[in-house]
Amino acid sequence: MNNITTFQDAFRKIQTVEAIYLNDTVQHFRNHAMELSKSDLKELTDVLENNICCEIERITADLRIEYFNKADRDCQLATMTGVMSESDRRTFQIYDFLMYPWRDGAPEARLFLIDCFEDELFFLTPNVVVTRHTPEEVNKAIVMLMHLFHVLTVADFQKIAVPMHCNVEGYLYALLTGRVSRELDPLCHIDELEMAVLCRGRHNDLVQELFRLHHLLMKIYADGKLF
């Protein structure tokens, strides 16, 4: 229980600390999280999710939002981050991240995916390449992936890497062909598509970073024998 209390306090600081101290605060939280057992991480994640959900209810009431269901409320909150306080905005960002439909919940992995990027909270989710698609942000995601591969077990990392790779492939395919396909072979279609793109000269910065992420994931799979 002492661990839970300590990490609740550390997590609260992420929501409230001044921007110039945010990176150090997040790293402090992550370093301690790495020392926890899986059972403690699961308990910690459950407690933090409950706390964040309570905070979201408060923010909703403060903004006097009327809604039909949870999805409607979340959509309205997403459009109102500009009028939230810095603390409430971070709280909503964290809520949105923790509520992502992670495979098996991924309790051992999610807390490692909170990071900072230019004094802003940064979250690595399977759709990061769709929602955060500047080359700098994709590069940040790649660095975080490489770090995670060294601190998580192969099984835990797979909970992140597999759905992320599916999204990378699907996004690349749609971006370059204008069509959406849910049946892509990562060992075939994307590599063939890359050759076609190179030949046609459509290899812009975003596409290049996405292919780099694709190849990195392929290498991680090979090293970790995830296939």
CB 121, CB 114: distance < 8 Å: yes
Q: Which long-range contacts (CB under 8 A, 24 or more apart) does 115-118 make?
A: 115/26, 115/30, 115/140, 115/144, 116/22, 116/23, 116/26, 116/27
Residues 129 and 221 in one domain: yes
**Percent of the chain residues past pLDDT 70, beyond the cut:** 75
Q: What are the residue ranges in the chain where pLDDT is below 50?
A: 1, 186-187, 227
Residues 54 and 157 in one domain: no
Residues 67 and 163 in one domain: no
Which of residues 72, 88, 111 is at a domain's end? 111
pLDDT at 227: 44
Residues 84 and 150 in one domain: no
Number of domains in the chain: 2
Residues 56 and 157 in one domain: no
Please report whether residue 16 resides in a domain.
Answer: yes
- For residue 166, the enclosing domain spans 124-227
Residues 68 and 24 in one domain: yes
Residues 75 and 129 in one domain: no
Distance between first and last Cα of the chain: 38
